[in-house]
Amino acid sequence: MAGFGYFLSCEEHTPAELVDQARMAEQAGFESLWISDHYHPWHDGQGQSPFVWSVIGALSQAVSLPVETAVTSPLVRTHPAVIAQAAATSAVQLGGRFRLGVGTGEALNEHILGTVWPEAPVRLEMLEEALQIIRQLFTGEQTSHHGRHYTVENARLYTLPDEPVPIDVSAFGPQAAEVAARIGDGLITMMPDEPLVERFRRGCGGTKPVYGGLKVCWGTDERAAVRTAHRLWATEQLPGELLQVLPTPAHFAQASQLVTEEQVAQAVTCGDDPDAHVGALSAFVDAGFDTVYVNQIGKDQQGFFDFYRTKVLPRLRD
């Protein structure tokens, strides 16, 4: 049976709000947490972007739920050796209830140091090398690495969990899914794409978990909820590689002007119809996902959690 988690959005909320939402998620019956890892929000209207590793430390003291980054890019902005230390410490703080979700990232967050933003095939190559470094450091042994993209000299992690941190890889296309099957402990993707799940499972023998996520906007006024989703997350409907290559929140704000409220209404579950919310999450379950994470867009978090606690999660579990 699939599990259901809550997706904490660092782009919209302060650290204190994220911790409060985690508590509400646990009380509502969600079983695990995702948390986004950004340097910038997608656009200024979202308004926040705290340092994820600090927030994870706070979560470890506030809730008993497992936590995963969705997702961290260990490619450009932060060296994989530093990500390895952050992930290991997070796993210790959480008593082993931590998974590291990784992906090839976006220029929005990764270009800030003035380095070149590589093409997608190069980013996949960098990701594979980065995970080699991270996994070697998770052994606790002194590590040196002189590769095509990264250098590590005499590095050793001293604060380690009892077991190495599982690493799940984000993928949205067939090539990335094959890489995820080969180098990841699980797959992360944001659409109920059954062919993608099947391709991943063929590549890994069907033994690794698949995790999915989606956004909704609960509210008693469906049109108002659509407007909120459009104002805050029209970026989700941008086509092609724009999410990966646009460099600043201002560029995303400009591109989002091309997305209509009608497009958002068709793509995002809005309003307070339990059937619609159950159907949106069930699409992931039917496509073979092991855990589905849902994020509430906007400020009305308590109303969302009450709605899911009483009208959505019980039906999904039945």
The gap between the terminal CA atoms of the chain, to the nearest Å, is 10
Q: How large is the angle between the packed helices 15-28 and 52-62, nearest 10 degrees?
A: 40
DSSP structure string for 17-62:
HHHHHHHHHHHHT---EEE---SS-SSTTT-----HHHHHHHHHHH
Task: Tell which residue, 277, 301, 315, 293, has the closest CA to residue 214.
Answer: 293
Q: How many CB atoms lie within 10 A of CB 29?
A: 17
Question: Catalytic site residue 149?
Answer: no
Per DSSP, 112 falls in state: G
38, 43, 230, 277: which is the annotated catalytic residue?
Answer: 38
191 DSSP assignment? S
Distances (CA, A) of 239 to 59, 236, 254, 285: 34, 9, 14, 25
38 is catalytic: yes
SS (H, E, C) 208-245: CCEEEEEEEECCCCHHHHHHHHHHHHHHHHCCCCHHHH
Q: Which of 68, 106, 110, 129 is catalytic?
A: 106
Beta carbons of 52 and 275 less than 8 angstroms apart: no
Residues recognised as catalytic: 38, 106
